[in-house]
Amino acid sequence: MSLKNAIDAMRNGKMILLFDAEDREGETDLVIPAICTTPADVALMRRDGGGLICVAIYADAAQRLGLPFMSDILKSISKNGHKSLISLVEKKGDIPYDSRSSFSLWVNHRETFTGITDNDRALTIRKVGETVDKVMKGEKIDLGDEFRSPGHVALLRAATGLLKERRGQTELSIELALKAGISPSMVVCEMLDERTGKALTKEDAIKYSKEKNMPFIEGKDIQG
């Protein structure tokens, strides 16, 4: 399907499938705008995707919210009495497809109970989307007013230069949001294959997209 179909789906709060690249993770993610996510969407992602349900956030919004990279948190802690933690982030070549991870904090919305249920995660995700929307409009936000950490929703901080700097699902999904003109916070969840124990193949992801009538695009479609 075309990039236009994917953008139209994003604008209507619908889910799409996004394959990064053969020479990277080689994975297809289920992707949907955070601000539109429902409990049914979370259920579908954990059932049909099976990977980690995360929220990718535009670098500008992350900076305004004071969201750090988890690697920077660990480096900071290691300088203040926990020196053993530095080895978790400073060994070279640990990530075969990239130079670093985009993980930031894990959060729950303060109105959730355990934070892990479909209802709870959908609430946290939507509130993250609303928060990003507000901060991008110039509002000053204190994350602690609505969220607590640790929690059950992983936040991902996109690279400042987006695809010029990194070509992960985080950057691809945010680039797609910008092209669609929607709030730049996107839910991503890897599609896994229980038969092989690996990522779902691109061919099987395309088959799934046709069965579910979801747009399927590749990273190269967005970069082009």
Q: Would residue 12 show up in a list of annotated catalytic residues for this protein?
A: no
Q: Would residue 152 show up in a list of annotated catalytic residues for this protein?
A: yes
Q: Would residue 29 show up in a list of annotated catalytic residues for this protein?
A: yes
Active-site residue, selected from the candidate residues 48, 130, 152, 204: 152
Q: Would residue 60 show up in a list of annotated catalytic residues for this protein?
A: no
**Which long-range contacts does 197-201 make (Cβ < 8 Å, 24+ apart)?**
199/25, 199/26, 199/27, 199/28, 200/27, 200/28
Active-site residue, selected from the candidate residues 54, 58, 120, 133: 54
- Strand pairing report for 147-157 and 28-33: unpaired
Active-site residue, selected from the candidate residues 82, 97, 98, 139: 97
Active-site residue, selected from the candidate residues 109, 190, 208, 218: 190
Q: How far is the C-alpha of 222 from the C-alpha of 179, rounded, in Å?
A: 9
**How is residue 193 annotated by DSSP?**
E
**How is residue 50 annotated by DSSP?**
B
- Residues involved in catalysis: 29, 54, 97, 108, 152, 190
